[in-house]
């Protein structure tokens, strides 16, 4: 039994992330162990959640991991927690836009139903008064399987405005759990792919999270929120176990995982699966570390913002050289999106690792969406023909977009990505919990390198 609530909104831009982060921080300040979760593939919001809770923020995405894993992954992440806070994505009923799934698939409502969790609707009240009751009534009755347990009014202008809103909602049958005023100083800065990651803002992000916790703690009835969370019934499932998903490899090869401010996009389950498969997982920061960890036999470079840090990445010649040398040995290297850019010859004319004969640059068009992909080439991640579900999220392009032996193809698009020796580099983001065999295959390749066995 994990007490839990899902924070949703009528649409994007209502302030879900600020309210969710503030609520996590406020409950943590009470001495509670709070397990933070995010619906969908987003990497940035969980960073703020993690900062507020002091434990990893985890994603719950039906597309990426499959419906059967949502509850087990939730229970895995929430182990030892007193309460779980799940932040939704987009509007409550907005799901994956893909022809292979039904409307609403992967939506916040979908996940709330799977978790049997009550929903708290965060409503941006800045430009409405009595009409708020119609909005809440509609969301409360639209889908009977979703239990709307309360409302938090956000961006309230004044005491009078709050009184009008509360009076209007008195007949809606959904309790008001809090009213948060407009505080522009606490808005999190954004740029070309959304919010600036917490890891890049460092001390400033810590101050913002603390301030959000103070505001939500003084504006929201935390006792009422906890009572609502405790009304969620037991879940009839066992927690996800990484060790049960992989084949353990002997030899304990060192697998480095890129981190630091330039590479903030990653799912906690990836490192857990690598460790369960027998790897000694260590972190390397390409902005600061001059060399790979001793004995590195494999490297994972996830997503992030190398375009923001291109000059600093280029200046770290020692690590760029070490990665090129590692690739030359045939060691497994898995690179997603930002990792692809880092392995390229250049990014916005700044020299990168030079592992791939490709040039990367910023592009005016955003590439965004879920992808159903098939592997075109045998690689350290998967055999050719393997089908996976991932997502794409970037404003850069590489020239060429694919190598002689491409990584993937999705839908009617042409080949994408690069498979070259032990390197697998692509724009496709994957949650390895949805394809756990990748971890075993990758660690087995690293173990062969460590043992000196030719690939």
Q: For 120, list phi and psi in degrees, rounded to 5.
A: -110, 120
Provide the pLDDT confidence category of residue 190 given band limits of 50, 70 and 90. Answer: low
pLDDT at 394: 86
* E-state strands within 236-275: 254-258
Average pLDDT of the chain to the nearest whole number: 94
Phi-psi group of 133: left, alpha or beta (phi > 0 → left; psi -120 to 50 → alpha; rest → beta): alpha
Provide the pLDDT confidence category of residue 412 given band limits of 50, 70 and 90. Answer: confident
Contacts of 160 (CB under 8 A, 6+ apart): none
pLDDT at 192: 45
Checking if the pLDDT of 14 tops 90, the result is yes
Burial state string for 46-64 with b = 16 or more CB within 10 A and e = fewer than 16: bbbbbbbbebbbbbbbbbb
Q: Return the ∠ at Cα 328 (arms to 323 and 329), rounded to 5°.
A: 100
Least confident of 202-206, 382-386, 445-449: 202-206
Least confident of 191-200, 335-344, 357-366: 191-200
**161-172 mean pLDDT:** 94
Percent over 90 (pLDDT), the chain: 87
Treating both helix axes as pointing N-terminal to C-terminal, what angle do 108-115 and 70-77 enclose, rounded to 10 degrees?
A: 70
Provide the pLDDT confidence category of residue 195 given band limits of 50, 70 and 90. Answer: low
pLDDT at 364: 84
pLDDT in tens, 351-363: 999 999 999 998 9
Is the alpha carbon torsion for 78, 235, 82, 93 positive or negative?
A: positive
pLDDT in tens, 27-56: 999 999 999 999 999 999 999 999 999 999
**258-277 mean pLDDT:** 96
Query: What is the spatial distance between Cα 22 and Cα 36, in angstroms, rounded to a whole number?
Result: 12
pLDDT in tens, 18-33: 999 999 999 999 999 9
Q: Which helix (H) or strand (E) holds 102?
A: none
Query: What is the spatial distance between Cα 327 and Cα 330, in angstroms, rounded to a whole number?
Result: 5
Choice among 337, 375, 402, 407 that is catalytic: 337
The answer to whether residue 353 is catalytic is no
Provide the pLDDT confidence category of residue 191 given band limits of 50, 70 and 90. Answer: very low
**136-147 mean pLDDT:** 96
Q: Is 356 helix (H, G, I), strand (E, B) or coil?
A: coil
């Amino acid at each position: 039994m994990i007490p839990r609530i899902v924070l949703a909104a009528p649409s994007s831009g209502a302030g879900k992330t600020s309210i969710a982060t503030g609520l996590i921080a406020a409950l943590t300040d009470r001495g509670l162990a709070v397990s933070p979760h995010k619906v969908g593939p987003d990497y940035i919001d969980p960073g703020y959640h993690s900062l507020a809770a002091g434990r990893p923020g985890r994603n719950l995405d039906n597309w990426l991991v499959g419906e059967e894993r949502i509850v087990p992954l939730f229970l895995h992440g929430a182990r030892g927690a007193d309460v779980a806070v799940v932040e939704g994505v987009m509007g409550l009923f907005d799901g994956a836009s893909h022809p292979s799934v039904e409307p609403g698939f992967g939506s916040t409502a979908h996940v709330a139903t799977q978790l049997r969790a009550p929903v708290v609707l965060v409503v941006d009240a800045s430009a409405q008064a009595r009409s708020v009751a119609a909005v809440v009534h509609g969301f409360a009755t639209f889908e009977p399987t979703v239990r709307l347990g309360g409302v938090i009014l956000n961006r309230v202008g004044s005491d009078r405005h709050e009184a009008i809103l509360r009076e209007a909602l008195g007949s809606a049958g959904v309790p008001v759990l809090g009213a948060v005023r407009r505080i522009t100083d606490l808005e999190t800065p954004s740029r070309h792919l959304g919010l600036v990651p917490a890891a890049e803002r460092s001390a400033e992000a810590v101050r913002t999270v603390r301030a959000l916790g103070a505001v939500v703690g003084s504006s929201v009835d935390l006792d009422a929120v906890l009572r609502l969370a405790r009304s969620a019934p037991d879940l009839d499932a066992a927690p996800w176990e990484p060790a049960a998903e992989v084949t353990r490899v002997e030899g304990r090869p060192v697998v480095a995982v890129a981190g630091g401010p330039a590479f903030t996009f990653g799912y906690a389950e990836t490192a857990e699966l690598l460790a369960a498969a027998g790897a000694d997982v260590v972190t390397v920061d390409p902005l600061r570390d001059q060399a790979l960890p001793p004995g590195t036999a494999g490297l994972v470079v996830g997503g992030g913002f190398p375009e923001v840090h291109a000059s600093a990445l280029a200046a770290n010649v020692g690590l760029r050289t070490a990665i090129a040398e590692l690739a030359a040995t045939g060691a497994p290297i898995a690179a997603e999106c930002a990792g692809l850019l880092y392995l390229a010859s250049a990014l916005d004319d700044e020299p990168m690792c030079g592992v791939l004969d490709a040039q990367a640059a910023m592009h005016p068009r955003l590439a965004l969406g879920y992808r159903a992909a098939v592997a075109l080439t045998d690689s350290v991640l998967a055999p050719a023909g393997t089908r996976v579900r991932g997502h794409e999220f970037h404003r850069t392009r590489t020239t060429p977009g694919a190598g002689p032996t491409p990584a993937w193809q999705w839908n009617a698009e042409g080949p994408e990505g690069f498979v070259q020796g032990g390197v697998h580099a692509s724009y496709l983001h994957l949650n390895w919990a949805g394809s756990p065999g990748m971890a075993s295959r990758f660690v087995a390749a690293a173990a062969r390198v460590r043992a000196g066995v030719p690939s």
